[in-house]
Amino acid sequence: MRKFLATFIALAVLCAALPTLAQAEVKLTYSNFFPPANHQSQLAEQWCKEVEKRTGGKVVVEYYPGGTLTKAKQCYDGVVEGMSDVGMSCLAYSRGRFPVMAAVDLPLGYKSAAQATTAANAVYEKFQPKELSDTEVMYFNGHGPGLLFTVDKSIATLDDLKGEKIRATGNSAKLVKALGGTPVAKPMPENYQLLQKGVVDGSMHPIESNKSFKLGEVCKFGTDSFDVAYTTVFFVVMNKDKWDSIDPESQKIISEINKEWAAKHAAAWDAADAAGRQFFLDQGGQIVQLTAEESAKWVTAAQPVLNDYVDEANKKGLDGKAILEFTQSTLK
């Protein structure tokens, strides 16, 4: 009788525990190439903690910054293949793979990271591009306006830029070429020495990089070419199978957090831009303001970069014009 009673109690306890077992936590890994001290890395880590907090521990995320799990260029495929469950990197590291979202990186005249981030998420929601269908998209964000900075020569006109060697990659390299400069494709970490040693005459980069990469120490002139400013789109995506393993209630909570965090990333970029601009000025840097007439010339000169995007998108079976026009409309 005692054995029967003990067995009965054990079964009762197990049955009572079944709902809890069914809601056992899902453990995720998050890969990010930004180093731990970077504001974008800190926000990513906060996202992990917020997911665990709001899901009541049903979803736990282990964070791996600084490319320790997957490198920047591997990050997206790393999520698809399950090397990490969540990943943050920029779409431009897989150039040509994301033709719809590539429209956001064009020199459309960004004034802020908030504007760029809104554009990126709006384009995704509007077109739901198949290029991202092998992951579950969390959200996108974009850095603030990418502008021209030079070492020894102020650039106030297109004539001033002719023949100048400017470190730039991707769309910013296309922009430099369209404006009459000579693009030099080198990674951002090499930029400081390139500028310091005179290998290049200047650089196209976000304002915040003047402080975060100390470029304000070597660049002495900045050109407020906002009407042709570009951005770079950063993604946060999750492995599809892992997403499907999360209960619907927690999925809904994570989706709500995603909307909040996209805005937080944009605000962090804009704050970093303000700090980067001040750092540049504190080092004795001078800002050159383009006249309205000159700025219009820069916009006209940059138009072929936009036309090339439309042509390339069309070749891939997309409506390049519609994508570009919608992206431009989000800026207004």
* 162-172 pLDDT per residue, tens: 999 999 988 89
**146-230+277-331, which class in CATH?**
alpha beta
Which helix (H) or strand (E) covers residue 56, if one does? none
Give CA separation, 99 vs 122, 292, 316, 318, in Å.
15, 32, 8, 8
Domain ranges of the chain: 23-102+113-142+232-273, 146-230+277-331
The pLDDT, as a whole number, for residue 67 is 94
Nearest to 321 by CA among 330, 309, 332, 331: 309
CB-side exposure of 8: number of CA atoms within 13 Å? 5
Place of tokens 């591009």: 129
Is the fold of 23-102+113-142+232-273 the same as that of 146-230+277-331?
A: yes
Nearest to 223 by CA among 301, 146, 108: 146
How far does Cα 257 stand from its chain's mean position? 17
**Residues counted in the chain:** 332
Q: Check residue 189 and report its DSSP letter.
A: G
Low-confidence spans in the chain with pLDDT less than 50: 1-22
Architecture of domain 23-102+113-142+232-273: 3-Layer(aba) Sandwich (3.40)
Nearest to 149 by CA among 265, 229, 91, 92: 229
Token pair in block for residue 102: 């590539």
Token pair in block for residue 190: 């090499």
Residues near 72 by beta carbon (within 8 Å), at least 6 away in sequence: 33, 89, 90, 93
Whole-model pTM: value is 0.89
